[in-house]
Every structure is written in C-alpha cells, then in structure tokens.
A and B are shown apart, each in its own frame.
Chain A
Amino acid sequence: MSGAGEGFSEGALRPYVITKGRSRPSRNTIGVETLLVAVEPARALPLSATREETALVRMCGQLLSLVEAAAHLGLPVSLVKVLASDLVDSGHLSARSGVPRAALPDKQLLQEVLDGLRRLR
C-alpha cells in the first residue's frame, strides 16, 4: 500500500474510505430529514468503529435530523447517510422517518403543516 496516496487528493477519497467504499446507505428509508437519536441505554461501539461513527453517535445524544448532524460535524450528507444507516442497523441509533417514500403526504399531515405555518405568521 506504500505510496498509494501519491498524486491523489485526500479530499475526494476520504469519504469512501470512511464508508468502506460504499456511496449508498444500507437502507433506503434514510433521508436528510430523518430524525436520529442514540439508543438508550448507550451501547458501546465496536473497537473497529471509525472516528466519524463515534462522533455521529455522540452528536445524536439528543434528537437531531441527519442533515443537522452532518452540518455540525462538518461531514458530507451522503457520507453521514451511510454511517447513520449502519448505526441504525447495528442498534446504536434509532431513526424517526419523514414522509414515506413514494407515498403522498396524507391530508391530516398537510393540515398539521398548514396549522403550524399559520401560527408562525
């Protein structure tokens, strides 16, 4: 592996190293707006956990969306999707999802959104 980094920009490669070469999350229900929270009581991460996985679980000590966690950690959203998905699979994070994919938002939800927006005026 010696000299493998020569001539490559670390910036472009690093996200794929962190995700072990994957660019897509293991579950397709995870989106930018998915709400994440660390599972209580906290489960120890395996020794093989990356720095980024550890940081993500710590960031999600309280409820936060995936995209906010990514912004606070300064990591690309696509990378955090892969990590969050794994951590949900492994039982370290729990996810509360948004509007189901391929389903129209129901009338009740839209009404709730409208009521909330009108309260902001």
Chain B
Amino acid sequence: MVSVGSADRYLPDTVQQAVKILVVGAFGVGKTTLVGSVSEIAPLRTEEVMTEASVGVDELAGLEGKTTTTVAMDFGRVTLSSRLVMYLFGTPGQRRFWDLWEGLAEGALGVLVLIDTRRLEDSFDVLEQLEIRGLPFTVAINQFPDSERYAEEELRGALDLLPETPIVLCDARDRVSSVDSLITLVEHVSGLGAARRSEAVS
C-alpha cells in the first residue's frame, strides 16, 4: 500500500465540518475495495482497542474474563466541498464487533451494508442489529464475477428488508458505481429525516 506523503496528507484550512458513513459487511465482502475506489487518499488502517467482556458470544466457552482485542479498520476520505469532508469507514459486521460500532455510528450520516449474494446469511445479524438500533441504512449488493444474478425483489425477500430500505447493485471496484450506492444512501437518509422531524423523538 502506498502511504500518503505528508504534503497531501492534510486538509485545506477552509474545511469546517466532517461527516462520516459506515460501510459494514462480512469479512471479504469488499468494504476496503469500495472505500478505496471512492477515497481520494490511499485507504488508511487504524486500530481500535476493544474489550470483549460484554460481547454475547460463547464460542470461547471456558475462556472467562476480559480479553482485549485490537480491531483493524480501514478508512478513506473524500473532500466534498471547500468546507466539507467525508470519511468512509469499513467496519466488520460480525456480532463480536458491534461494540465497536457504538462510537463509530454516533453522528454518522448512515450505514451502507455491503452484501455478497453467495453468502447472504452472513448479513442477517447485521441487518437485524441496524433495524434494532434505528440506524438508517441502504443495502448494496457487491456483484462478484461469479455471483449469481438475482432480481432486486428476490433479494429483498431473502434479506427480509423493510419496504422503505433501498437496495442497490454495485461493483465495489468501480468508482462511479460505489459513489452511486452512497448517493442512494444519503438520499434515503434525507427522506427519513423529513419523516422523522415530524415525529416525536423518544
């Protein structure tokens, strides 16, 4: 991976605000690829320290007590205007990483859930969790060369999506296609915002 030289590492001083979007998906689904095709910098990797005491997995039965894990996260950056920058975070979707979302999802515009049709079942947990947490999301189906092609309605049914949740087909390697899936997400959030503003927030 090419590291960014310190000369173009920084943002113009005119930038006043940053927004973020989470790209969530199972391992190997193409999160980093999507982040990389949209980002203006080579994707950066960072580590978050996570304590796994409160995590509801018992696959490690017998290993009691807290364990500290570091989770690698790849992210990219897009300057949207002279005053606004966007960060894209590729976040693992597995159950044991949900604690990590807490800090990341706070203040995020929304979540793009990246799905591989060859492993639909990997995404059921993530989708359910997003619905429970009330995070606005859009489903993007990453089309792999050997993916079987399904109709949108077929996938919507298989994933048990709410009727209002957008679903798009994308090619994570392609910049325009990836940007389009982000546009669909932000349009969705924009529509939700209008609906929610008229609701009383609990």
User: Chain A contacts of B175 at CB under 8 A?
Assistant: 120
**Cross-chain pairs A/B with CB under 8 angstroms, 12 sampled:** A12-B68, A63-B10, A64-B10, A67-B75, A78-B48, A79-B49, A98-B18, A104-B193, A110-B186, A113-B86, A114-B190, A116-B80
Band of interface residues on A? 35 or more
Band of interface residues on B? 35 or more
Stretch from A31-39, A45-53, A85-93 contacting the other chain? A31-39
> In the complex, are the beta carbons of B49 and A107 less than 8 A apart?
no
User: Chain B contacts of A101 at CB under 8 A?
Assistant: 106-107
> In the complex, are the beta carbons of A78 and B80 less than 8 A apart?
no
User: Chain B contacts of A31 at CB under 8 A?
Assistant: 20, 103, 106-107
B172 at the interface (CB under 8 A from A): no
Stretch from B38-46, B116-124, B148-156, B161-169 contacting the other chain? B38-46
Cross-interface CB contact of A35 among B18, B48, B183, cutoff 8 Å: B18
User: Chain A contacts of B70 at CB under 8 A?
Assistant: 76
What 1/0 flags go to A95-113 for Cβ under 8 Å of B? 0111111001111011111
User: Chain B contacts of A34 at CB under 8 A?
Assistant: 18
A118 at the interface (CB under 8 A from B): yes
Cross-interface CB contact of B190 among A33, A35, A76, A110, cutoff 8 Å: A110
Closest A residue to B41 by beta carbon equals A68
Closest B residue to A60 by beta carbon equals B10
> In the complex, are the beta carbons of B49 and A104 less than 8 A apart?
no
> In the complex, are the beta carbons of B104 and A32 less than 8 A apart?
yes
